[in-house]
Amino acid sequence: MPRLRAALLATTLLTLPLAAQAQPVTGLYIGVGGGYNYLQGTERSLSGATAANARAAGLPTTVEVNWDAGWVGAAALGWGFGNGLRAEIEGFYRQNDFHGSTAAGLSSRTNAGHVWQAGAMANLLFDVDLRRFGWAQPILYPYIGGGIGWSHIELDGVRADFRPTRSQVGFGDGADDVFAFQGIAGASFPLGVPGLSLTAEYRFFGTTEPTFPVRRTQTLAGATSSTVPGMENYNHSAMIGLRYAFNTPRPAPVAAVAPAPAAAAPAPARTYLVFFDFDRADLTDRARQIIGEAAQAVQSTGTTRIEVAGHADRSGTPQYNQRLSMRRAEAVAAELSRRGIARNQMSIQAFGESRPLVPTADGVREPQNRRVEIVLR
């Protein structure tokens, strides 16, 4: 038994810090991240004499532009509202090298240059609290969101040489500023330091079509032509990063209690937790089931001392939460009485928001703190 108690105490000490961090972000936070960026290729139809010549030769009448795998980096400054919603401003940079082009069925042999994108986004995200789905101590927070903003896109020395036609297509150093949008799906993982989390996410990033000047030179004939086509810009990014929330509550210290001598150890108390919906004091079906189990234990063990203690989370004023926790305790006591437990066996108390099961900042809705504890001694 002493070894078992020591193991339980060690487990509590290890899991409480992570449980306290696994909270919706409240207040200011910063984040950085980076990773892999895939820029989709662009396909366009040829026009004019070039298209007519390709069609007459039985060749495809399209031109494709493709990019190598690249990289992305981003930094964000945001604010969490304590209920899962977050709003942030993000700056980003993406870069991909030019892979090559295919025109009228011919692939370029020599390629050079790259494209880079930089800009700012306004994002709105929502953290999914897994405790609402029955996971008592989640180790991660999934999140989804999206954003809109602006992107500057620039081509640096992009060109493709074709053989055997001895022609060259060059985009040169064109640039454009366009409207940007993105969708985000990811998850955050607490790292053991209050407020610090590892993030892993996927982003789909796109813009309206930027336009660039294109110069085509026919080396053998010495002819040149210029166009200004648009380019599709759709990116798929896989990113790893870090996020730090400045207002994360520190876990309450857990005092170690020296074990009593085995001969004097009292019979262990039994505790039953009854949870309530936000701002409610009525009993759910699950709550009635737990109270029924407690009542059955009272009758089977001959327990004569029953403590019924009501609690509330920190959403609302302390005065209101004190009254709400008393209504919850009275609702549980009434159900125990209905199941045959004498009222004079019960000690009924209310603690409001003063004894949280999970420490939170003021104003945070925490399901595990909206409870009544039934203790059989």
Domain regions of the chain by residue span: 24-245, 266-376
CATH number for region 24-245: 2.40.160.20
Mean pLDDT over residues 288-308, rounded?
A: 87
> What one-letter code names the amino acid at 321?
N
- With bands split at pLDDT 50, 70 and 90, how would you rate the model's confidence at 50? low
- With bands split at pLDDT 50, 70 and 90, how would you rate the model's confidence at 361? confident
58-82 pLDDT, tens digit each:
444 567 889 999 999 999 999 999 8
Mean pLDDT over residues 313-329, rounded?
A: 91
- With bands split at pLDDT 50, 70 and 90, how would you rate the model's confidence at 19? very low
The answer to whether residue 1 scores a pLDDT higher than 50 is no
- With bands split at pLDDT 50, 70 and 90, how would you rate the model's confidence at 28? very high
- pTM equals 0.59
- With bands split at pLDDT 50, 70 and 90, how would you rate the model's confidence at 9? very low
Are 282 and 361 in contact by the 8 Å Cβ rule? The answer is no
CA distance 160 to 182: 30
Are 183 and 204 in contact by the 8 Å Cβ rule? The answer is yes
The answer to whether residue 242 scores a pLDDT higher than 80 is yes
Q: Report the CATH fold assignment for 266-376.
A: 60s Ribosomal Protein L30; Chain: A; (3.30.1330)
CA distance 15 to 13: 6
CA distance 242 to 33: 6
Are 331 and 283 in contact by the 8 Å Cβ rule? The answer is yes
Mean pLDDT over residues 8-26, rounded?
A: 52
Give the model's pLDDT for residue 7. 46
The answer to whether residue 83 scores a pLDDT higher than 80 is yes
Cis ω on the peptide bond leading into residue 2 (within 30° of 0)?
no
- With bands split at pLDDT 50, 70 and 90, how would you rate the model's confidence at 18? very low
Using a 10 angstrom Cβ sphere, with 0-12 exposed, 13-18 middle and 19 or more buried, the burial of residue 115 is buried
The answer to whether residue 13 scores a pLDDT higher than 90 is no
CB atoms < 10 A from the CB of 277, how many? 11
> Which residues of 62-213 form beta strands (DSSP E)?
62-67, 70-81, 85-103, 106-107, 110-127, 141-162, 167-172, 175-190, 196-207
- With bands split at pLDDT 50, 70 and 90, how would you rate the model's confidence at 148? very high
